[in-house]
Structure 1
Amino acid sequence: MDPKIVNKGDRNKIYLLIIVIAALIGTNAYLFFKDKQQNKRFVTVSTEKDKLRLEVEKIEVELDKANALNLNLNEKLIQSEKLAREKIAELKIALQKGQMTQEQLDKAYAQINELKSFVKNYNDQIIQLQKDNLFLKNSRDSLANAVKNISNKASNLEDENSNLNVKVKAASALKLQNAEIIAFRTKSSGRKVEVTKSSTAEKLSVRFNIIPNELANKAHHNIYLRVFDPAGNLIADEENRFEADGQEMQFSHSIYINYNNDESTYVIDWKNPNPFIKGIYTVILYTDGSTMGKAQIDLR
């Protein structure tokens, strides 16, 4: 028998192997494109979930705004709001799940549209309630209650404003970013010469930068210096007084600076009315009723 002749059984096996390989290639291609479509679908669903979360937050903010009016709501409005809050909570939980089907997304959109309609109707009723309350204030009995409520609200508002002012003042305060002190003397020519010995020092020069602060008032600020000698004694005149950190203090020197939140470097020169002594001098800076920071220099 001729060896070049392939028997029929072997030929069938070859055909079957070709079919199997083609099927595997087709399956892999199908799975690749399916996985690609699923990934694309997952990204789309994730984007839709982010949009839904934003819509839910907007609805919740609208409800919070209505509550901030502190109106006396009737039982029906209270229950309606309660149901809306519960639905919002359910939506938040649903949106925290890893994946959502298109059907679940559609259902969430439908629920959000219902909530939007509810919030619009709810706000309309709140506005009408405000008008009704305004009308009732014209009557004697309602006027007495209104005065009492207004008095309480005014007191609470005053406390809130007071607390807010404290926070704003603290947030807008000027603070030192860095500060250094050098001692110097002035030659007969007028040129300043830096020194390190107490015996030759005539003045201290404080150089400092302020931490950038968008909330700070861009204007003139009075800077107060309190200088302490190595023994801890404040060097200041009795009549030089200011208030900071809730108490009256004496200051050694003061100047005005023009603050523009532009990272400027400021320099304050201070002349000691007494001879300098060996040791560490401490300078503390204040402005707008609060401490900015401090710096020190050690004179030999």
Structure 2
Amino acid sequence: MEESNNSSNSIIKAGLILALAVAAIFGYLYFNEKQENSQNNVSITEKTNELLRTNTKLDSISAQLDAKIAEIAALGGQVEELEALKAELQKDKKNLMSSKSFDAKEYQNKIKGYEAMLLEKDAEIAKLREENAILNNQNQVLNSENTGLKSTNSDLRTAKEALADSVYKTTVQNRELSEKVTLASALRPMNYTVAAINSRGKERDGEEFKARKVDRVKVSFKLAENPLTKKENKTIYMRMIDPTGNVISDMATGSGAFSFGGKETIYTAKQTILYSNSGQTVEYIYNRGANYEKGTYKIELYADGFRIGQTSFNIK
């Protein structure tokens, strides 16, 4: 009986020892895992803070770059290098925020490079300021000298202006006289005659014609004698305007455009004559190739930049 009790006590003691050993092992594993998690959390926090510090530093450098670009441009310097550097910095910022693996040392080196460039540009800005100061001083001296020259030349300018005014008035008078002479020498049509020619070639003069009897239109006139007009070739443009106000024209039959009053003007027909100052007759025979609508048709004549005459006829 006593031996049985001793055996039971031994088993219980062994079970307790085993339970304590298992508990110790689990406790050790739990403690180690907690330690590792704590260390990982610390590492993530440190990396996050380092990333934020790096981004803040890049923002600061970006602002400094903007300021230096503006100042160098205002001083007349070249900013292409800084603008390229700014573009590279923006790319680094974008990569920083999107990258899954942050390398603090890599970005520290980039920041050092940017800061070195900023220092280099500080020296360039100082040089530009000095050069601009010298130029400003030179400009002040030149302005002072110019003020003296302006004062000295005041009387000469007044005399020159008076002379220029006199020359201008003389030029205007000469131009007006030349225009009057040119106008006086312009061709002068007179004794207009309009005739309708039917399909059989029969011709009928008048001011009004029946549409069915008009196949072609003949316009004739004399050129008045004028001793002021040179005996030379003259081009006379004829414009036939229909009742709706449109110029009748067909490039296939000789119509075209000429310059009048600084604008391109369409003509119906033209011909070049040798002006003889003998009261010569000029004729136009125009074949429209289409029926004439009822209404009044105007004939306008142009030569040497002037509208020299006009007449009209009616279609009923």
More helix by share: 2
TM-score (norm 2): 0.43
TM-score (norm 1): 0.46
